[in-house]
Structure formats: C-alpha cells, structure tokens
Amino acid sequence: MKLMLLATSAALAAGSAQAQPLTREELIEALKSRDQVIAALERRVETLEHERAAIPSSVPSLVPAPATTSPPAPGASSSPAGEDEAELQALSRTLVQRGGLVLPPWRMELVPSFAYSNREVQGLALAQTPEGIPTVADQRLRQDQVRATAALRVGLPWSSQIEVRAPYAWLRQSRTLGDGTHAVNEDSGAGDVEVAFSHQFLRESGWWPDLVGGVSWRFTTGHDPFRSQLAAVATGSGVPEFRARVTAVKSSDPLVFFGTLSYARDQAVHQAFGAFQPGDAIGLELGTVLAVSPETSFTFGVAQEFRGRASIDRVGAPGTDTLAATLELGVARVLTRNVLLDVSLGVGLTRDAPDYALQVSVPIRFH
C-alpha cells in the first residue's frame, strides 16, 4: 500500500511538472511539497496499521473463513459416515421391507416375522343330513391362520440382493351349520420355501424414480393340499410358482411414494383328476411411507391381486377366478442401531381377501 501511494504521488507531481516549464527555484519548491505529501501519507498509513493491530482477535470477521477438510484416516472408508446412519433409519429400512431398496453389498438381515389372519364367510351351502340326504343349510365358515417366517437377506455387489424365506404355519377351519352341526379341521407344518433375487436398475434423478426389479421361485415344500383331507388347512400350495415384479420409488420429502407391479405364473401339476394349473396372477400395490422422524415411519397403501381361472386339462373352471384387495397400514420403529420393529395391519376390501391380517416383523441387520 505504501508503494502504491508513493507511485501515485510521484505520477501526479511528474504530470504537473510536465504541464508547463518551471524554473529551478519552482522545481525545488515542488519537490519539497511532494516530499511533505509523501511523508504525511506514510504517517497516515502507519497510524491505520497500528489501529488495525489493536483490534481484539475475538471479534469475528465479516468474511467467512474458507472451509478446511482433513484427509481421511488410513484405512477409513471413503463414504461419508452419514450414509451408514441413513441406512439404519426407519425410512430406508421400511423400503427394504417393501422391496423398494436393496441392502448394501455383503450386509445381512435376519427377519423373523409373525403373522395372523382371519376370514369369516356366512351364507347358504349344500350339506347332508344325518340320513345322507342333500339339503341347503345356513353355513358359517371361519378360517384362522398363524404363520411364522424366518427370512435371510444378503446384499450383493452391483446393487443386488438375494433372499430366502422359510415359513411354518398353523391353520384352523371351523364350520357351523344352521342345524347345530359343528366341524373343526386343523393342520400345522412347514410351508413353501421361497428364494428371491432383486436388482436395482435405476437411481432416482430428476423425474426418474428408483427402479428395483426382482424374480422369485416358490418350492412345494409344504403339505400338499391335493393329498390332504381338506385343502383349506394344508400348509403348502402344492404348485411351484414363478413371480416377477418391478417396484418404483419416488421421494418427496418427507414422503416416499412407491408402487409395485407383479406377475405370477404357476406350473401345472398332474393329479388323478387331470393336469391342474392355477390361473396367472397380476398384482398391483400403491403406497407411501411418511418419515415422522429418523427412528419412526408410517406406511399407507393398497394392494390388490387378480388371479384368473384355474384350469383342468387346459379347460378353465368357472368360479375359480379371484380378486383380493387389502388396505395396508404400518408403523416401523428403530429399537436399537441394528434392530427394527415393523408392525402392519391389513384390512380386507373384497370377499376373496382375509377380513384382517396382522404382521409383526423384527429385521436384525448385521454389518
């Protein structure tokens, strides 16, 4: 700053000297005046510097200091620590439960779950009297099902995931006729084991949502309903099934919207009465997840599945097509860093759906 002031004064003096010829005495006087101006400017600069140095260092500067980042410690992960915390939040873990998100590579989740469903139907039915005479009677049919399932999810590289589910079921059906006749049938045992593979194809960007696709295969490991005294209480389906699905997820803070479209096709099985094949099924689920806090989320949704007619020897059986629609409400709460409590309630909207179903899941994540 001193040099700038000196140069400016010298330039002004030189310019004024060149404006018109000066005598020797006038030139000496001009130089003396210039020296006085320079000396006064130097004293002013020194005074300002002393005043600035006297300002306490505790007074914050109006100009923000540049942010500094320290290099990561050797061996530390290059991803921000916040990403790990986000993975453990109720919102992201709920999306994993709903199939809208896959686990990070080599992360595992053990998911024990417990579900109860109830369905009651009342109407006229064809029954036999004690004498063996067919008659029409009022019938009340009640079905209760308790299902315990152990699932294991493992995150794979390339945004993929594999899952294995093994259920165990207790089933009970009670039938009461208007004449007072009452019958109860029960069964319990292992259900059909299912293996599923999921892959995330797209990441949310602009208008594009997250897109997760998956396929699954159901094995006939449960009790075969075709060889059971009553098919309604058999723990298995007796038919292998292939299912494909695609789930789209779009965030709009604090809400996350999701939708799942699925298609299922069962294989034909040969029985004594012919080749039996259930109808193809198309499912649609729409819902939203509300992040109340990092530890709590609510889920609201509607799920429906339409299944076509079953066929025997490739001939459709009338009355075997179904439409099951359910209103779903759920809440998820992080209990500890690795444990989530997920409770969901389903209310049947059509006759083919259970009247209500309650499920409690406790996903336990391992790092």
Which tokens is 273 given? 């009465």
Please give the model's pTM, rounded to 2 decimal places.
0.71
Residue for token pair 């006087």: 29
- The domain containing residue 109 runs over which residues? 90-116+147-366
Question: For the domain that residue 319 is a member of, what is the CATH number?
Answer: 2.40.160.40
Cα–Cα distance measured from residue 170 to residue 111, given in angstroms and rounded to the nearest whole number: 19
Which tokens is 74 given? 């050797």
Cα–Cα distance measured from residue 289 to residue 295, given in angstroms and rounded to the nearest whole number: 13
Q: For 299-320, how does the pLDDT look when each residue is reduced to its tens digit (9 = 90+)?
A: 999 999 999 999 988 888 888 8
Q: Report phi then psi at 7, rounded to 5.
A: -65, -40
CA distances from 320 to 21, 103, 125, 145, 263 (A): 118, 38, 17, 21, 18
Residue for token pair 């799920």: 303
- The reply to whether 341 falls in a domain is yes
- The reply to whether 37 falls in a domain is no
Confidence of residue 67 (pLDDT cuts 50, 70, 90): very low
Residue for token pair 């789930």: 247
Q: Are 261 and 306 in contact (CB under 8 A)?
A: no
- CA nearest neighbour of 355 among 346, 363, 364: 346
Cα–Cα distance measured from residue 95 to residue 114, given in angstroms and rounded to the nearest whole number: 19
Number of independent structural domains in the chain: 1
Confidence of residue 140 (pLDDT cuts 50, 70, 90): confident
- The reply to whether 7 falls in a domain is no
- The reply to whether 5 falls in a domain is no
Q: How many CA atoms lie within 13 A of 125 on its CB side?
A: 16
- The H-or-E segment that residue 86 falls in is helix 81-87
Q: What is the pLDDT of residue 206?
A: 84
Confidence of residue 127 (pLDDT cuts 50, 70, 90): low
